[in-house]
Structure 1
């Protein structure tokens, strides 16, 4: 950040000393970007995801550092968590609905605005991969329920029981009271959203979840909804969300954040405004969590949440870091 501020503050003085041809000859899109008198560091490639899913960003970085495409990076990063039975918020081992069925939601979006999603899909371990097939192999954006599951089988995906013994026993214990009060940062820590910029400067994103624990059968939150749980605009940036999806849907949260960046806000400022919009409609309410992350075309990142405890992980040439998020509520 110190280097970035120094370069920004010194650009005006440098403008009178450096000729336009010299500036043009020094331009290197993989390292720096010179734009209308301002010198700004561009970070690429870079991956960012919700929560401390270090294996996801590590996998995405494997793709990105070797010149791979951002779409492959976000898909493979999300797949790592979908396959982890110890992660009870996505994929195999996800917590079931109140009927005991694990239903999965996911979406994916590429640099051109192409997107695909699956909603309330059962028996398939990697919904983000099916979502990509929806995007690439059908004229549709979303497939739901049994239709999504049937399509997955047609594409060669295998049927798998997603309910692990641990999640089953926890569900049986919950049934003793059937009290629906998701635990902040645990049971509504329900999503991995992952964004990436590749060496070419192209942005993609993905989002995958098993949804709220013990939800009504058929409930779908924000995660597979383009514009709510995820939005990508390759000219501007991208955003994704985690937490109580109903509130994110009501503000079309990820689209809002990208549009705020279009208006000139930094990713951090845009995430903060996104949370504030939600809280303005929930005055006095303190019983839920939402976290946003965002990235702009320069590779600058931001994150903000309602409750303390949310973090987001980044991976670039600057390092692999878990970043505690500032929160709207302080305790």
Structure 2
């Protein structure tokens, strides 16, 4: 029995019990019924359009939030929002200007999911800046979910994307300097292993999400992390909510983190508690978590948000009702360093 039927039947039962009782008793029953119906109606209200993203990428949520305010779909908003960082030459982990692999090549990964549950992804793509938009093209204009490498790049040109050199002089010089030692150890909260993930709810209450990244700095040629993998880097269920990950992709993949968070929310957990549980699943596997960072953000159908990470230092952006806020995440680190 759903709640509306329960309330209606309760009201009928209340009226029967009140037969022969005082007018005051009838009034009380009527008041309780109205209160219950009012609470039910409130629970069904759509939240104001909202966009959230990993880290302090304020320009990305500003762009997405403004589009949502104007009535854009959640999918349009998140793809346009992350494009701000894909095109930001100062961002060394996304799009143009990103850190290359050990061979000196910049390769990008991305995925998208729409409210209908459709998804698209591209892996290890060279020479294309807006790979989130390309992942959307895979979702909408091909019979596939994933395109990789040269195949994804060729598809991009067929769709009108421009060929651009993603390796800037600054990143090339940094790579050449790195080659002198070839020291490979990602540092916690240092953006050599980062991504931008974004989730949004539009005016219709629909949810969409996107991830886009260059992956680990100085990674092995061909390496792909969690970001373009549906269920790990990103997962959306329009009836429940969405989640996105950032940090050490190899560890996110092992627990299918974003899917896990959505399933926990389906079972009744808040976004915050679900993010905390997903981090706990990683940390309880042993002490190795002390050497890497992972963070999750999540949103549910009601517009509640949550974020949690392993180590102190992660933040998320939230845009809603014209306010663009940077929110410090709670963290696990058992020694509270």
TM-score using structure 1 length: 0.89
The answer (yes or no) to whether the contact 1:121–1:144 under 8 Å persists in 2 is: yes
More helix, by proportion: 2
Separation in 1 of the partners of 2:323 and 2:285?
38
Cα shift at 1:78: 0.8
Distance in structure 1 (CA, Å) of the matches to 2:29 and 2:171: 61
Larger radius of gyration: 2
Alignment correspondent of 1:247: 251
Counterparts of 1:105 and 1:15 in 2: how far apart (Å)?
Answer: 59
8 A contact 1:70–1:203 mirrored in 2 = yes
Q: CA RMSD in A?
A: 1.9
Equivalent residues, number: 308
In structure 1, the partner of 2:236 is 232
2:16 is matched with none
Q: Could you list the per-position Cα deviations for residues 34-57 of structure 1 after superposition, in whole angstroms to 9, with x for gaps in the alignment?
A: 5xxxxxx75320000000000000
The Cα shift of 1:16 comes to 6.4
Residue 261 of structure 1: aligned partner:
265
User: Does the 8 A contact of 1:185 with 1:310 survive in 2?
Assistant: yes
**Structure 1: distance between partners of 2:227 and 2:221:** 16
Aligned twin of 1:271 = 275
In 1, distance between residues paired with 2:219 and 2:208?
Answer: 29
Runs of 4+ in 1 over 4 A off after TM superposition: 24-27
Q: Among 31, 37, 43, which residue is 1:33 paired with? A: 43
Contact 2:99 2:192 in 1 (8 A): no
Q: Distance in 1 between matches of 2:327 and 2:251?
A: 24
1:17 aligns with 2:31: yes
Q: Give SS of 1:205's match.
A: strand
Does the 8 Å contact 1:123/1:159 carry over to 2?
yes
Residue aligned with 1:286, SS: helix
Report how far residue 318 of structure 1 moved: 7.0
The answer to whether the aligner puts 1:309 opposite 2:313 as a matched pair is yes
* Secondary structure of 2:171 counterpart: helix
Q: 1:20, CA displacement in angstroms?
A: 5.0
Which of 94, 97, 113 is the equivalent residue of 2:98? 94
Q: Which residue among 190, 203, 206 is the counterpart of 1:202? A: 206
Distance 2:191 2:36 in 1: 56
- Distance in 2 (CA, whole Å) between partners of 1:70 and 1:187 is 27
Contact kept, 8 Å, 2:282 with 2:289, in 1: the verdict is: no
Q: What displacement does 1:282 show? A: 3.2
